[in-house]
Amino acid sequence: MASSVLSVAASHSASLPLHETTIKGKIKIGRNGLRFSQSSGRISMVAAVNVSRFEGIPMAPPDPILGVSEAFRADTSDVKLNLGVGAYRTEELQPYVLNVVKKAENLMLERGENKEYLPIEGLAAFNKATAELLLGADNPAIKQQRVATVQGLSGTGSLRLGAAFIERYFPEAKVLISNPTWGNHKNIFNDARVPWSEYRYYDPKTVGLDFEGMIEDIKSAPEGTFVLLHGCAHNPTGIDPTPEQWEKIADVIQQKNHFPFFDVAYQGFASGSLDEDAASVRLFVSRGMEVFVAQSYSKNLGLYAERVGAINVISSSPESAVRVKSQLKRLARPMYSNPPVHGARIVANIVGDPTLFGEWKAEMEMMAGRIKTVRQALYDSISSKDKSGKDWSFILKQIGMFSFTGLNKNQSDNMTNKWHIYMTKDGRISLAGLSLAKSEYLADAIIDSYHNVS
């Protein structure tokens, strides 16, 4: 007589819902979740377990910048201050929608403009306006049709499109990135599979520019390297080269036959002047160099959520510009197909209307002016309170919405844990999130963290 054997085993395979009783072939799943099967006189009882096929996927680390805002929101302190994310705030520390943006949007409603798909390259009026803002309407490169402009998904998306172009058509090239730089730059080139290395930029001894190190590293890079440059208001340091230093940087890049790749995220927002903040890019273009430029309108028009920007490639001939644009469009098509229209129309309406354009420049000057005012107030407060003799003048030498305080990670942690001031761990603070009323409190926190935390 054949003997019967009962065995119990665990299975990681997916099962039907455990409350159902179902018979499929010779397999029966009971209400207790056990699976029974019988074959050749052998009975097996198997525990059915629902386990995701994503079990092996690790948790991603929090974004170093956006994670600051999440921690800030969870803090219940009345004195908390968010100086992490680079977004403009009013003196009351509230988000600000430019009045000129509201007017441009009202115009769009009055015209009853539709929501049809844009072409892959974006809104023609926007592309024209953005190239002219960047280079100047009378620039020979524009008149000679040597500029390929494609509307992108703000600065990040425009950089990503440029990185994809490099990976496909310059597969042996590397990118040289400043140390330090905006946290997302490395992610963008990593995901585009474009290798990168760093050039010296920040000198912790002077809390200033390591110009000699920068030049040395650009000189030693292989010919044809893409050198990523911040057009103005370097993020995170707020330290920009002088006009004379920009000339020398251009000399070296031209001599080495490198590609300059500018990230222009703050045109008009740094100094209050569109022309002044575009001077570095225009210098390189005036020398006849072929240049990549990624633009963003998040800061200077407050269009953070509209994701409006552009990638521009200034070429040496109109024929090559046409080819470059065709391939940028080809790359964009499988990425996101075509860009959003709302923010592009806002930009085009403002730049295309002399009255609105004038109002925009006035509001930019106001925003840039408020940041300069709180920067001065912070310096004055620290200088009057700190009796150690430390030179804090670097705060005034920096430009734009950020200040690189020189605080290390432990000191930055103290700013958050003790003072409820949220900032990135590299010591960067966004002065756009500071008010005059809070400047003394911030000064006290910086002094305490600098002198009392190693």
State the residue for tokens 């790359």.
Answer: 331
Kindly list the distances between the CA atom of residue 406 and the CA atoms of 25, 205, 396, 411, 417, in Å, as whole numbers in the listed order: 71, 9, 14, 9, 18
HSE value, Cβ hemisphere, 13 Å, CA-based, for 404:
27
Which DSSP string corresponds to 183-227?
Answer: HHHHHHHHHTT--EEEEE-EETTTTEE-HHHHHHHHHHSPTT-EE
Q: And the tokens for 211?
A: 């110009």
Coil, strand or helix at 161: helix
Instruction: Please choose, from the candidates 131, 128, 154, the residue with its C-alpha nearest in 3D space to the C-alpha of residue 308.
Output: 154
Instruction: Please choose, from the candidates 156, 148, 153, 124, the residue with its C-alpha nearest in 3D space to the C-alpha of residue 345.
Output: 124
Contact (CB, 8 A) for 134 and 267: yes
DSSP 44: E
State the residue for tokens 């665990």.
Answer: 10
Catalytic residues: 182, 263, 299
Contact (CB, 8 A) for 277 and 232: yes
Instruction: Please choose, from the candidates 454, 417, 434, the residue with its C-alpha nearest in 3D space to the C-alpha of residue 382.
Output: 434
HSE value, Cβ hemisphere, 13 Å, CA-based, for 428:
27
